[in-house]
Amino acid sequence: MKVRWILLFALFFIVATAFGDYDIIWSTIDGGGGRSTGGPYVLTGTIGQPDAAWSSGGNYELLGGFWPGGPLCFVNFEHFARFAEHWLDEDCSELNNWCDGADLEPDGDVDFGDLKRFVDEWLYSCPHDWALR
């Protein structure tokens, strides 16, 4: 009888966990401070520092937290505003930097092809050649 209850409990536990929702929490554990150097650059860390933030200075950007590789930029409303300023422009060329980067293909105009590429990148890390950066 005892074995039946154990098997029933085990079966319930397996079924309950099989249909549960999964949740991935994006965070990091900062294990310690230190100093890293390379060439003229120095990076200093502090134990327990909050790190899920963006910092910039001059031509440099630093993004803390758990973000896998990639450029330190996310396609957002600021980029959309720059894109929208040139919607349906037809005079894009190297002379005007492909309509200030809005001609994402670049084929001389800002149209649905460019909009498709923009939407495909929405809220993701900017591609290395993201013209609206």
**What pLDDT is recorded for position 70?**
44
**What pLDDT is recorded for position 91?**
96
Give the model confidence (pLDDT) of 73-109 as tens digits.
Answer: 788 889 999 999 999 999 999 999 999 999 999 999 9
Question: Which pTM was predicted?
Answer: 0.49
**What pLDDT is recorded for position 71?**
45
Domain ranges of the chain: 1-51, 68-133
Query: Which long-range contacts (C-beta less than 8 Å, at least 24 apart) are formed by 69-75?
Result: 70/125, 70/126, 71/125, 71/126, 71/127, 71/128, 71/130, 72/125, 73/125, 73/126, 73/130, 73/133, 74/123, 74/124, 74/125, 74/126, 75/118, 75/121, 75/122, 75/123, 75/124, 75/126, 75/130, 75/132
* 127 has a pLDDT exceeding 80: no
